[in-house]
């Protein structure tokens, strides 16, 4: 079987386990503070980044469709989704997007504020080296993330509740770069 094989370093390039969703992560040091984890998830976390293109040659006489010189990248649709198994008022506020917390109450409001957009990180173990000191990690930063999936809770008899989430990354008029970044740090063996 000539082509029934995998790369020799495949294990060094695998993202392991379900990852976490956090409000902050330090990619320079590769450190995550437990208090920054938004909540426990169930079923894993999905991330997708889909480019949105415009074909500037569309409807131009005699111009073939999808001519590379006339293709323009307009924006990115970057989203994280999944389900939380835990919730508190801070997470409820984040899921509501436009909301305020007073004591133990998260109250939705009718308008967005700049503070409703916040950084969001997906962080997981990466590579065969995943020890406590020098373990590899994979991280995706969603800039200006906003809950676009609303607040929904599903309960079940004899089971824990699930709170579906969808967060969308946004660009800003002051920062026109792509609304997400991806880091892969393979780590090294523990000493």
- Residue 153 corresponds to which tokens in the numbers above? 């809770």
Q: Output the six-digit token pair for 19.
A: 């990852």
Q: For residue 188, is pLDDT > 90?
A: no
At 19, give phi and psi (nearest 5°): 70, 175
* pLDDT tier, 177 (very low <50, low <70, confident <90, very high otherwise): very high
The model's confidence at residue 146, banded by pLDDT at 50, 70 and 90, is: very high
Q: Given a cut of 90, is residue 157 above it in pLDDT?
A: yes
pLDDT surpasses 90 at 94: yes
What mean pLDDT is predicted for residues 97-122?
96
The structure tokens listed for 110 are: 């009718």
- Whether residue 129 is predicted with pLDDT greater than 90 in this model: the reply is no
Mean pLDDT over 167-190 rounds to 93
- The stretch 66-83 carries a mean pLDDT of 96
Whether residue 138 is predicted with pLDDT greater than 90 in this model: the reply is: yes
Report the pLDDT value the prediction gives residue 96, as an integer from 0 to 100: 97
> CA-to-CA distance for 185 and 191, rounded, in angstroms?
18
Residue 119 CA to residue 26 CA, distance in Å, equals 12
User: Could you give the residue ranges of the DSSP H alpha helices within the chain?
Assistant: 89-96
Say if residue 137's pLDDT is above 90. Answer: yes
């Amino acid at each position: 079987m000539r082509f029934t094989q995998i790369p020799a370093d495949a294990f060094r390039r695998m993202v392991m386990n379900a990852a976490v969703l956090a409000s902050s992560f330090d990619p320079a040091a590769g450190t995550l503070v437990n208090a920054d984890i938004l909540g426990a998830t169930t079923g894993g976390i999905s991330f997708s980044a889909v480019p949105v293109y415009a074909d500037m040659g569309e409807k131009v006489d005699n111009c073939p469709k999808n001519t590379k010189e006339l293709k323009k990248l307009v924006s990115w649709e970057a989203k994280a989704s999944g389900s939380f198994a835990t919730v508190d008022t801070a997470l409820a506020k984040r899921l509501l997007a436009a909301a305020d917390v007073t004591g133990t109450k998260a109250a939705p409001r009718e308008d967005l504020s700049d503070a409703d957009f916040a950084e969001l990180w997906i962080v997981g173990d990466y590579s065969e080296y995943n020890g406590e000191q020098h373990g590899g990690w994979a991280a995706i930063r969603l800039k200006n993330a906003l809950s676009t999936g609303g607040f929904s809770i599903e309960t079940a008899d004899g089971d824990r509740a699930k709170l579906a989430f969808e967060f969308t990354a946004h660009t800003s008029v002051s920062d026109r770069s792509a609304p997400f970044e991806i880091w892969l740090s393979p780590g090294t063996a523990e000493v």
